[in-house]
């Protein structure tokens, strides 16, 4: 039976291929989410801030943030550029046969990663994602477009979801502080 849950994607099968396309719709679980537009140190501070607001400069007493840096070259002439969303997410995915792969956001932004949750990562880990047939594969990674993704959310009762999200703050800080990673 050809269902997303029975299909799989092993990046090793695509090594050496310049470009190919996903042959069948495939179900994945999202194992990790990384914003590749931000440096490690920026992400580390965001995680530390989520863990202990005082450490990086939240000011709960006055309901504001402590300003830790001032750009002195910025004078009245700095144009007021509308801050648009520069983030690009790289997902670590796992299919139902425990194959792991990377997937990048490609050409457009995936709306389910922009739900406005105020954590350093935008959604809970472990959610289920169906990647549709015809998605481009390049260098062994999936290039995701919004039309080809169907996000089904997290199953709170699953062990995977519980394990992935347990102590997420500490785990993320450890990973980002590890110089070998």
Partner 1 sequence: MKVLCVAEKPSIAKEVTNILSGGKSVRRNSPSKYNSNFDFKFDFPGHGVCDVTMTSVTGHINRTDFPAQYGWGKVPPGRLFELPIEVKIDKDKAAIHRNISTEARNSTYLMIWTDCDREGEAIGYEIFEAAQKGNRSISFNHVWRSHFSHLERNHILNAARNPTGLDMKVVDAVNCRQELDLRVGASFTRLLTDALRGQKNIPSPVSYGTCQFPALGFVVDRYKRVKSFKEEKFWYLQADVEKDGQTAHFNWTRGRFFDRLYVITLYQECMKNPHGKIDSVTKKPTSNYKPYPLTTVQLQKDCSTFYKMSAKATLDAAEKLYTGGWISYPRTETDKFPRAMNLKSIVETQTQDSRWGQFARELLDGGFSQPREGKNDDKSHPPIHPVKFQKLEAIKDDNQRKVYEYVVRRFLACCSTDAKGFQTVATLVWGNEIFKATGLEVSELNYLKVYTYRKWSSSETLPPFQQGESIPIKFSEVKEGKTGPPNHMTETELIALMDANGIGTDATIADHIDRIGARSYIQKVKKGGSEIIVPTELGIGLIEGFSSINFENNISLSKPSLRKRLEVLLKEVETGRRTKDQALKENVDLYRKAFVTTAENQAILINEYKKYQT
Residue numbers at the binding site for partner 1 (CB under 8 A)? 18, 36-41, 52-54, 57-62, 66-70, 72, 75-77, 86, 88, 90, 102, 104, 107, 138-139, 141, 143, 179
Residue number, 88 or 168, with CB nearest to partner 1: 88
Min dist CB 54 to partner 1, Å, is 5
Query: To the nearest whole angstrom, how small is the minimum distance from the Cβ of residue 181 to partner 1?
Result: 12
CB of 136 to partner 1, least distance (A): 9
The strands making up 141-144's β-sheet, listed across from edge to edge, are 20-21, 136-138, 141-144, 100-105, 89-95, 26-35, 128-131, 149-153
Minimal CA–CA distance to 138: which of 17, 5, 6?
A: 17
User: Shortest Cβ distance from residue 139 to partner 1 (Å)?
Assistant: 6
Nearer to partner 1, 3 or 54 (CB): 54
Nearer to partner 1, 100 or 104 (CB): 104
Beta carbon nearer to partner 1, 8 or 102: 102
Decide whether 77 or 118 has the Cβ nearer to partner 1.
77
Residue 168 Cβ vs partner 1, minimum distance, rounded to whole Å: 21
């Amino acid at each position: 039976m050809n269902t997303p849950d029975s299909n799989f994607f092993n990046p090793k099968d695509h090594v050496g291929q310049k470009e190919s396309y996903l042959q069948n719709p495939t179900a994945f679980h999202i194992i990790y989410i990384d914003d590749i537009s931000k440096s490690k140190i920026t992400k580390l501070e965001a995680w530390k801030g989520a863990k202990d607001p005082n450490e990086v400069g939240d000011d709960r007493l006055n309901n504001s943030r402590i300003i830790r840096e001032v750009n002195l070259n910025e004078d009245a002439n700095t144009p007021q550029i509308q801050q648009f969303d520069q983030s690009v997410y790289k997902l670590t995915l796992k299919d139902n046969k425990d194959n792991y792969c990377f997937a990048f956001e490609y050409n457009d932004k995936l709306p389910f990663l922009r739900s406005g949750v105020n954590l350093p990562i935008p959604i809970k880990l472990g959610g289920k994602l169906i990647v549709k047939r015809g998605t481009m594969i390049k260098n062994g990674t999936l290039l995701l477009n919004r039309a080809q993704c169907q996000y089904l959310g997290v199953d709170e009762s699953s062990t995977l979801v519980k394990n992935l999200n347990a102590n997420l703050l500490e785990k993320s800080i450890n990973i980002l502080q590890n110089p070998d990673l």
